[in-house]
Amino acid sequence: MADAAKEGGINMNKFITLLHLIDWHWMLTAILGIYGAAMTTYSISSARKQNRRQVKVTVNYGYLTYGRALGDEQMFILSASNPGQRAVTLTGVGFQLPDKRTLVLPYPQGTQLPHQLMEGTNCQHFVSIRDVARELSRSGFSQKVKLIGFYRDAVDVWHRSRPFPFNISEWA
């Protein structure tokens, strides 16, 4: 008992005996099997990610420029970029409203739709902030809302932005 206390409470003789009882071949095989399963799972998920359509959508404020001059009106700028390795054909653009209805932009300024968004490329569309504010007011919204920009692709998948805060009363 005194020897166990000196060694931090571990009986080294029992520990060494336990190490001799373990079949190290089976332990090594189990560890390698777990490692192989983890690597296979990682490679399958990586391959799936590369093969799926990826579109990143953002919404910002901005002005259009004409040569060195800024445009008269502040605009919403909806952007779609393709960080994936698969082309995506975009067919529609707009905003998802707080009540889940959509405000589709039938003739937005910017890249003509439908548009094939190749890997590593982007496109942009512009709409007057005042026009959006008027439509939102007509639809019964006032004050602050969170708009979600979206692009729809040719296989009817909706790619959405993060919610974008917008104060209607400042623009309507």
Q: What percent of the chain has pLDDT over 90?
A: 48
pLDDT greater than 50 at residue 1: no
CA 36 from centre of chain: 29
Under a CB-based contact definition with an 8 Å cutoff, are residues 131 and 166 in contact? no
Angle at 158 between CA 152 and CA 159, to 5 degrees: 95
Instruction: Give the CA diameter of the chain.
Output: 90
pLDDT greater than 60 at residue 156: yes
Torsion of CA 130, 135, 136, 138, to 10 degrees: 120
pTM given for the model: 0.70
Q: What is the spatial distance between Cα 97 and Cα 120, in angstroms, rounded to a whole number?
A: 29
Q: What is the spatial distance between Cα 114 and Cα 17, in angstroms, rounded to a whole number?
A: 73
Alpha helices per DSSP H over 52-147: 129-138
How many other CB atoms sit within 10 Å of the CB of residue 170? 10
pLDDT greater than 90 at residue 2: no
Quick one: pLDDT band at residue 55, thresholds 50, 70, 90?
very high
Q: What is the spatial distance between Cα 61 and Cα 106, in angstroms, rounded to a whole number?
A: 20
Under a CB-based contact definition with an 8 Å cutoff, are residues 146 and 127 in contact? no
